[in-house]
Structure 1
Amino acid sequence: MSFDFTIAIVPNNTSLERELNYIKSALLYADKVTLISPLAYMFDRLTDKGNSLNEKTVLRLIEQILPLAKLKDIDFYNNSYPVIKHFSQIIHSKQYRAIPYVKKLGIQRQLKDFTVQISEAMLSLVGEEQGKELQTLIDNGQVYIEKFDHSLGDLDLCVQDYFNLLKKSVHSSYPLFDPQSNDLMKAAVNSRIVNLSASDRRKITHAGLTDNYIQRLPSFSEASMQELIDIKKELSNPLIRFRKKMLEYSETIQSMPWDEDFEAECELLYEKEVVPALLDIDECTKDSSFIRNLGSKFFTDEGLWKSTGGLVVSIAAGGVISAFNNAISSDVAMLTAGGAYAAAKVASAYQEHIAMRKEIQRKDMYFYYKAGKLLS
């Protein structure tokens, strides 16, 4: 099974900021991210570029909006509904096809302006920056928005849709829930409305633990979505080993994300296992310094100083990698007796450095360590 995460958010305002914070955490770790959010679903539907394709798609947009207006202003809804219903009948009739072309163009232009106004209003409502960021993630296939079967204006049915999507996510993915969704699932489990298998419990715990640890990464809250996507691409192989380790860690957690002890268990495991692992990688990284190893094996060899003075200067002035390239180039002066021996010394130190670096990168927590460094 792939690492597909499902995020469930109960909106507490009209901003998409909470949804995006959860997405960032999952995006760095998961193969696929699905979002269950009435607000994100409404945004996705009302800003869809396909809404302005023709008169019928605009009507469908209006039919989505009217139930929402009913919740806010019942008089507006009662006055508008008969008009829209009559207009819909005209659009789907032969009568509309008989309207002169110029007249139709005028109607289409007004309807298109209406869809633009709706899209702009929705973007302003959720936050222009957040709305555009989510839209980019959707367009690029980074995030998929779950659909609701019923209009968001039908609150009872919409809540039922939300709960059904939560239940589905538990069995089909790694679910990551916000506090309200956790409370809802806890109540459902305690009432035996939802029965969790051992596998379901492991996935829920794994998602909660992963989110808990990724949120701790340095400067994570300031990182952009694109930075996180780039980091995941760069560290694709270490990510595989990191996932394996996180699965092992989540096996030791006894609580569920909605339990009071969950946060404390995560903290204890982090201090016991993660912090020492990160320190170990950090120490190994320092020990594998090419310059340090080159110095101990090369510069301390007094017999080489006179014959390889030019190479020493080159290292100091041009950097280690540049010096290495020069040492094995066709430069005749560099490859005379002393220079050739020095080049072999540099090459040997460089190969040892590469081998040590590969060994570090094979460590289970290297993804987490390096992601933190890149974010810093």
Structure 2
Amino acid sequence: MSDITIYEFQPLWLTLDQVGPFQSTPYEIDFTDDKDKPCNVFLLMSENGRGKTTVLECMALLMRQLGEEQPERFGQEDLDRGRGRIQLDVLSRIFWQGRDHRIVLSLLAGNIGEETFLKVWDDADLKRYGAEEWHRSGYRQQARGRLLEVGAHDDLVQDLRHTLIDSGLMAPEGFANSTLSLPTALLFPAYRDIPSLSESEGRPIVQPEHWGYRTVQEFAAHGTNWTASLDNLLVWLKWLDNGSYENAVKTINSTVFAKSSDKFLAAEIRRVPPEAIVHSGGQTHRLDRLSSGEKNLTQLFLRIGAHSTRNTWVLVDELDVHLHVRWQHKALHLMKALVRQQPGTTVIASTHSVEILEAFPLDIREQGLIKGGWIIEEDLH
């Protein structure tokens, strides 16, 4: 295996066929702007049931299998039944075998042929996006449900996959300070509550459930167990004693509580029981006593800080959920700031909010941002 370094990893196109609501004909989503540049802030819009969640989940699925040795199944009903197929085309710049390679990497899953793809890239297509080579990676459905790897004889793809697999569970260097260049996707469901923890369950100082590098981190919509909780994450960061907890406190206080002079995440952890402390109006309370909007943003920015690399996709389902109009604007503003502060980050969020759309004009340039959007509006069945 050769040394490999990834400098860019950005979505270009997603094609879905017979998956979720996308049943009638192959459906394409273009993640680039009007100059064919990959967007770093992208909004998905549609009515309920049109497929926004399916889009984000399929992107996470393809990233997950990129870092898996040999999946037994896809984990998506239509794909596992042998009907559906998906292809995500990614623009990547990779240093491999002593030189830079600017490539389109197609991530594939489902009912595809050995040389039959949903989107084929010829030399003209590659040149349009500044790429030189087309590579494929993924799994196709075989008889009796067996999955056969695509790209098994492609040396670059195999070196990339082995690098990602061998790096699994590598500990982060620090909070919001990663030097790791490997790509990752962080998938956030629409429900981003911080539930109260059980009083009877033990709370040992233990490695958090999502700790360590993965090609995708999928945060469950519900859960009250200690190891998956934000409190355990913060206790763990404090226990590491390497500045990570202090950086986490600074991040939350500068984002969630930015304009509040009397509400902030404390610099210390409560010892018995171990948990984070929020100061508010001269009193203290737990994370689960925050407002729904504060919980939403706290979940997002603690997880992003703990798990981001230099090539991160932040996939957020319903960015505006449970947020007042003012907080919707704040969430969008914070996502823009995140992309500016962490080049290499791509935010793809779904929304129903007219207010967010009005605050996201595609025809107005904003420094450091490449904006895009997509409306799923036709009948897909």
TM-score for the superposition, normalised by structure 2: 0.22
Structure showing the higher helix proportion among its residues: 1
In our comparison, the structure showing a higher alpha carbon Rg is 1
